[in-house]
């Protein structure tokens, strides 16, 4: 979806890396996160300050190979001091990001383990709650649900950007995760970052990335810094490079168009529903807006297998079961290329035909 | 050490990545390793064929965020089917790469655990032996030492390149790990690769990288492909770009000069010794050569703490203890920048002064 924007600004956002640059493991040995490129740190802070979606003052920035690596780093950093009485429980409210269970359990660590739906969590002892807001898969704005002593939260704010939802306040949590994948569309770069309040936790997250991959690709960091810079520049009202569309306005308009197309099909259709979102005031846009999530969380009629039904029409979707939910639900990406998205909408409306024939 | 070479070939090895390129997680969905850039795959094969240091035919190539990630991926891939009776033992002969113990144990996995010196390994049950050849820290050419049923080996061949040692044959093992860090000097890129015989093992390694970081930075892969291409070109005798020094000859000469300087100091010195290496015929250079390791494995006189002694002269070294060895030993990098290396040699000879005064 983002490709067209980046093609238009082509010349300005190419990055050239000479052969002798960034040979070393180190980026800044004086920084707690010694492999973080100073330019990337600067542009991360600038973008958050421009958008107003997270507090960066007095926070430690830890860069990761995508936010996946930082989720694992947070599990490691938070669980190590807590797991005296067995693995720390990792929970998230249903429907949760489908990778959390596998990420928690794949190495069969005795530090932490997946414990399912946060709303059903009734064990004693320490836990980590993953709070994804707006939520993947359903776009809902979330708060922690467990709220007990010995609890830690990790806020995955990958989708807390103005193209997807209203920026209502500077987020201010202990660990906040972001990624260029969802902010700018550059999923292939594998660059994520964590804003961390506690120095000890930040140090342990850095330690994790050090043992896991000895830092994060310098090329990817330099390019991400460049891309974030362009986005910040595009948001300026004064001194803005004259031919640069505001990135978030541009992307928000695309999201609105896509969701309108989807809602049109769903409206004329007896088989599906998609979530509705309240209007909220966005401090960045200075206007009211709904949430336009990166995924459509589609619900079929009771008793139907939504993924199967969609697959029958060659629509790639992930079953609600993968998110701890019912098979009536399925998740579909709203960020595909234009032609793919149009094909998806077209195929979805042809299912409506099938439904009406019955 | 490699910086000067890459500065000289500057124009030819810059890589420019336009803003719209490599947005996706995917590089080639038809490939077993779906996040491997086709151009990198091609250049990896070409370089191995040029150098003759590893068999690439009928091997699966898995790219990783440095070879660290691939070591962990190999632990995961090999141990999962084997660990019915508890964690699989990971062993390596002393002196071993100092990160193996921490990499094995940091997540307290029940799939695998560190079990120390391969030469002392006497447990029943499955094991994984790490065979680093030439070895880090001591430069010795190695073979597996356990050789029992239920055993798996991982060959870490990071230093099996012509600047460091004689290329005596195409390596031909089940899992072989390489990294641009040690081959080209681009440690900051975090690009490693595994040549894997068994498809199932390769698939599980890919699965590990997928869960761990959802692939590997595309920018780093594209740049690594470019750098490997330049190296292959520099090795051509016919049609070679006329002003391109053979990379391995250039680097080998630097290694020889540095080792000669070091051996001179050691020779006039009653306190230290460094390993000696046999002459071997190198099929790449078509000449006899010794091994010139990336690290000096320095030994002090009995009963002295080598790291401490060196630290007293502001020489940064890693104690032999970290490698499962004695405190009489310490490891010093031979790949530092020219000015740092000269300072190291100068400081080392000043210790000789101190030693003679006693």
* DSSP strands (E only) in chain A: 15-17, 60-65, 88-92, 112-117, 127-132, 151-156, 175-179, 191-196, 272-273, 280-282, 287-289, 295-300, 318-319, 329-333
With 60 as the cut, is the pLDDT of residue B281 above it?
A: yes
Q: What confidence tier does A352 reach under pLDDT thresholds 50, 70, 90?
A: low
Contact A65 B189 (CB under 8 A): no
Average pLDDT over residues A106-132: 95
Taking the CA of residue A300 and the nearest CA in chain B, the distance in Å comes to: 29
Q: What confidence tier does B86 reach under pLDDT thresholds 50, 70, 90?
A: confident
First to last CA, chain B: 35
With 80 as the cut, is the pLDDT of residue B65 above it?
A: yes
Q: Where are the alpha helices (DSSP H) in B63-198?
A: 66-79, 100-105, 180-184
Q: In what order do the strands lie in the sheet with B318-319?
A: B272-273, B295-300, B329-333, B318-319
- Give the Cβ contact number of residue B260 at 10 Å: 10
Q: B288-324 b/e with 16+ CB inside 10 Å = b?
A: ebbbbbbbbbbbbeeeebbbebbeeeebebbbbbbbb
At B10 the pLDDT is 72
Between positions 181 and 210 of A, the ones with CB within 8 A of B are 181, 185-191, 208
Using alpha carbons only, give the angle B325, B326, B332 rounded to the nearest 5 degrees: 75
Contact A190 B230 (CB under 8 A): no
* DSSP-assigned letter for residue B131: E
B300 CB contacts (<8 Å, ≥6 apart)?
A: B271, B272, B306, B309, B328, B329, B330
With 90 as the cut, is the pLDDT of residue B287 above it?
A: yes
Q: How far, in Å, CA of B348 to CA of B350, rounded?
A: 5
With 80 as the cut, is the pLDDT of residue B270 above it?
A: no
B211 CB contacts (<8 Å, ≥6 apart)?
A: A68, A99, A102, A103, A106
At B82 the pLDDT is 63
Answer whether A300's CB lies under 8 Å from A269's CB.
no
Give the CA-trace dihedral at A130, A72, B26, B53, to 10 degrees: -170
CATH topology match: A25-235 vs A247-357: no
Whether A215 contacts chain B with CB within 8 A:
yes
The residue in chain A having the minimum alpha-carbon distance to the alpha carbon of residue B80 is A107
Contact A189 B218 (CB under 8 A): yes
Answer whether A66's CB lies under 8 Å from A221's CB.
no
Strand partners of residue A184: none
Between positions 59 and 78 of A, the ones with CB within 8 A of B are 65-66, 68-69, 72, 76
Q: Which of B182, B168, B161, B134 is nearest to B287 (CA)?
A: B168
Mutation test of the interface with chain B: which of A7, A11, A18, A23, choosing the one with the most B Cβ atoms within 10 A? A23
B9 CB contacts (<8 Å, ≥6 apart)?
A: A19, B230, B234, B244, B245
With 70 as the cut, is the pLDDT of residue B253 above it?
A: yes
Mutation test of the interface with chain B: which of A219, A225, A233, A245, choosing the one with the most B Cβ atoms within 10 A? A219
With 70 as the cut, is the pLDDT of residue B268 above it?
A: yes
In which element (H, E) is residue B24 found?
none
Report the residue from B103, B185, B223 with minimal CB separation from A17.
B223
Q: What confidence tier does A353 reach under pLDDT thresholds 50, 70, 90?
A: very low
Q: How far, in Å, CA of B196 to CA of B205, rounded?
A: 9
Q: What confidence tier does B358 reach under pLDDT thresholds 50, 70, 90?
A: very low
Taking the mean position of all CA atoms in its chain, how far away is CA B90?
18
Contact A185 B23 (CB under 8 A): yes
Per-domain residue ranges for chain B?
Answer: 24-235, 247-357
Contact B6 A13 (CB under 8 A): no
Pick the CATH number of B24-235 from 1.10.3720.10, 2.60.40.3880, 3.40.640.10, 3.50.50.60: 3.40.640.10
Strand partners of residue A109: B109
Contact A111 B108 (CB under 8 A): yes
Could you please state the CATH topology (level 3) that the domain comprising A25-235 is classified under. 3.40.640
With 50 as the cut, is the pLDDT of residue B129 above it?
A: yes
With 70 as the cut, is the pLDDT of residue A81 above it?
A: no
Average pLDDT over residues B322-346: 95
Mutation test of the interface with chain A: which of B217, B221, B244, B335, choosing the one with the most A Cβ atoms within 10 A? B217
Average pLDDT over residues B94-99: 97
Its sign, for the CA torsion A3, A4, A10, A12, is negative
Q: How far, in Å, CA of B28 to CA of A132, rounded?
A: 30
Tens of pLDDT, residue by residue over A285-333, are 999 999 999 999 999 988 899 999 999 999 999 999 999 999 999 999 9
Whether B56 contacts chain A with CB within 8 A:
no
Contact A3 B12 (CB under 8 A): no
Answer whether B15's CB lies under 8 Å from B226's CB.
yes
Report the residue from A14, A20, A211 with minimal CB separation from B10.
A20
Whether A299 contacts chain B with CB within 8 A:
no
Strand partners of residue A280: A289
Contact A3 B9 (CB under 8 A): no
Tens of pLDDT, residue by residue over A17-42, are 888 887 888 888 899 999 999 999 99
CB-CB neighbors (< 8 A) of A102 in chain B: 211
Contact B218 A188 (CB under 8 A): yes
Q: How far, in Å, CA of A130 to CA of A276, rounded?
A: 23
Whether A106 contacts chain B with CB within 8 A:
yes
At B83 the pLDDT is 59
Q: How far, in Å, CA of A234 to CA of A247, rounded?
A: 6
Gyration radius of chain B over CA positions: 21
Tens of pLDDT, residue by residue over A218-262, are 999 999 999 999 999 999 987 666 678 899 999 999 999 999 999
CATH architecture of the domain B247-357 equals: Alpha-Beta Complex (3.90)
Tens of pLDDT, residue by residue over B134-186, are 999 999 999 999 988 889 999 999 999 999 999 999 999 999 999 999 999 99
Q: How far, in Å, CA of A265 to CA of A258, rounded?
A: 11
Mean pLDDT of chain B: 92
Taking the CA of residue A358 and the nearest CA in chain B, the distance in Å comes to: 37
Q: How far, in Å, CA of A79 to CA of A87, rounded?
A: 8
The residue in chain A having the minimum alpha-carbon distance to the alpha carbon of residue B227 is A19
With 80 as the cut, is the pLDDT of residue A152 above it?
A: yes
Mean pLDDT of chain A: 92
At B311 the pLDDT is 94
With 60 as the cut, is the pLDDT of residue A356 above it?
A: no
Whether A107 contacts chain B with CB within 8 A:
yes
At A357 the pLDDT is 43
* DSSP strands (E only) in A99-190: 112-117, 127-132, 151-156, 175-179
């Amino acid at each position: 979806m983002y490709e067209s924007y980046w093609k238009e600004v082509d010349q300005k956002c190419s990055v050239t890396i000479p052969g002798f640059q960034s040979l070393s493991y180190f980026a800044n040995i004086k920084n707690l996160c010694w492999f973080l490129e100073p330019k990337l740190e600067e542009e991360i802070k600038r973008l958050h300050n421009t958008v107003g979606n997270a507090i960066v003052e007095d926070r430690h920035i830890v860069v990761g190979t995508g936010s996946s690596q930082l989720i694992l780093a947070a599990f490691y950093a938070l669980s190590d001091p807590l797991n005296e009485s067995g693995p720390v429980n990792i929970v998230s409210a249903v429907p949760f990001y489908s990778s959390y269970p596998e990420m928690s359990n794949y190495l069969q660590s005795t530090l932490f383990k997946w414990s399912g739906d946060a709303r059903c969590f009734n064990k004693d002892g320490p836990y980590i709650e993953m709070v994804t807001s707006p939520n993947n898969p359903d776009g809902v704005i979330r708060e922690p649900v467990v709220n007990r002593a010995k609890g830690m939260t990790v806020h995955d704010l990958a989708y807390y950007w103005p193209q997807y939802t209203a920026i209502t306040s500077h987020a201010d949590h202990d660990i906040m995760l972001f990624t260029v994948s969802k902010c700018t569309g550059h999923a292939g770069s594998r660059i994520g970052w964590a804003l961390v309040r506690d120095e000890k936790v930040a140090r342990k997250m850095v330690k994790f990335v050090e043992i896991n991959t000895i830092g994060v690709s310098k090329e990817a960091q330099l390019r991400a810094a460049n891309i974030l810079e362009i986005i910040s520049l595009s948001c300026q009202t004064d001194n803005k490079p004259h031919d640069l569309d505001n990135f978030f306005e541009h992307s928000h308009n695309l999201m609105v168009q896509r969701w309108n197309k989807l809602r049109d099909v769903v409206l004329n259709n007896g088989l599906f529903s998609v979530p509705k979102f309240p209007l909220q005031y966005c401090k960045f846009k200075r206007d009211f807006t709904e949430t336009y999530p990166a995924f459509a969380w589609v619900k079929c009629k009771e008793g139907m297998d939504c993924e199967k039904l969609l697959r029958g029409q060659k629509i790639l979707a992930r079953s609600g079961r993968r998110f701890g939910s019912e098979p009536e639900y399925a998740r579909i990406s709203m960020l595909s290329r234009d032609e793919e998205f149009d094909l998806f909408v077209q195929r979805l409306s042809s299912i409506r035909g099938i439904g009406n024939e019955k």
